[in-house]
Amino acid sequence: MDATALEREDLRPALTQLSEEEEMFRASFREFAEGEVRPRVEEMEKASKLDPELIKQCFGIGLMSIETPEEYGGAGSSFFNAILAIEELARVDASTSVFVDVQNTLVTNAFLNWANEDQKKKYLPQMATEKVGAYALSEAGSGSDAFALKTRAEDKGDHWEITGQKLWITNGNEADIFIVFATVDPEAGYKGITAFIVEKDFEGFAVGEKEDKLGIRASSTTEILLDSCKVPKENVLGEVGKGYKVSIETLNEGRIGIAAQMVGIAQGAYEAALNYTSEREQFGRSINKFQGIQFQLAEMATELEAARLLTYNAARLKDAGKSFLKEAAIAKYYTSKVAEKISSKAIELFGGYGYVKDYPVEKYWRDSKIGAIYEGTSNMQLQTIAKLITSGK
């Protein structure tokens, strides 16, 4: 057994067994998802908007600041518990899940890892109690090539001025605090990229149109417009020219969050199919008594369990302070495939009912499709995995 395997050996028993505290967290998240989220799903889907009262409740029970230390008003819990929350919410509604996911695994983690003490004291308590965060990296010409940014930040002496347009910004309509990436020197390439903390009411900042999407419809995905947006000098996150590190390291953690979201979607679709096949009767008995149906359910259960364990493994490694880059990429790649496959199979098991909006499984499929696209496409995950395994890591 090599050294890497040895140092990870102690993590293996924890993958399949949750601690008492983690079981309590999961139970509380599931209770909230069933009691508060599920009754709102249909209306939020139709309105393409999260219920404002639900957003308040997410803050009220601590869902928006799971890892934030208690000194800043958060729960002071683990990344793994944030993953449990994201999974349980996605089991009921992926839109609510990604709303919580972006706040925790992207924005809050960026502050925890890169903000100075003054920035933490100012922003983390706000984000723990009432203010939503968003992560603004993507542009029209920079998707997988994330650092081909056109958004420009100019040093004006006593402040920065940012000009440009960002696309595909999750939580755009709800957010008050944005982490915006811009280049201070286009000639410097990725070394010119800098992260800025931008508030919604800063002069020159505006939220643009909301996208009309296939899935996660209640989650707002918007453009943001920066027209000589004035940003205080002290609002650089990290260091000038270090935005690429802020982005890469934060997105590595965020991919585990997306994997958890996909596991939750797959779980919800699987449970719906399991329940339906036990109730639907053909030829005098429930259809899950037929071996052909049983084998399909067994395959779904197997792939779901594998997806969950890959996700938990990556989250455990992150909490243990160990390398998790490859494991995060594998988890995101595999879970996105599994969520789409299981939700598609659930539609087939429902028959004609699976194809109409009166039943839940078509929504699970629509929500699953984004998993292969955002926070790094499946091809980009394969590129990362291939690079690491061929270099012996």
Q: What amino acid positions are annotated as catalytic residues?
A: 375
Q: Determine if residue 76 is left, alpha or beta; phi over 0 gives left, psi from -120 to 50 gives alpha, anything else beta.
A: left
Q: What is the dihedral of CA 240, 241, 247, 253, to 10 degrees?
A: -80
- Dihedral sign for Cα atoms in the order 265, 83, 251, 206: positive
User: Is residue 151 within 8 Å of 181, Cβ to Cβ?
Assistant: yes
How is residue 358 written in tokens?
């009166």
CA angle 270, 305, 279 (to 5 degrees): 25
Query: Which of helix, strand or coil describes residue 169?
Result: strand
How is residue 388 written in tokens?
């690491």
User: Is residue 179 within 8 Å of 134, Cβ to Cβ?
Assistant: yes
**What is the Cα–Cα distance from 26 to 82, expressed in whole angstroms?**
10
Strand partners, 216: none
**What is the Cα–Cα distance from 126 to 123, expressed in whole angstroms?**
5
Q: Give the HSE-up count for residue 223: Cα atoms under 13 Å, Cβ half-sphere.
A: 12
**What is the Cα–Cα distance from 62 to 102, expressed in whole angstroms?**
15
E-strand ranges in 202-278 read: 205-210, 221-232, 236-237
Nearest to 105 by CA among 122, 116, 89: 89
Phi/psi for 267 (5° steps) reads: -65, -45
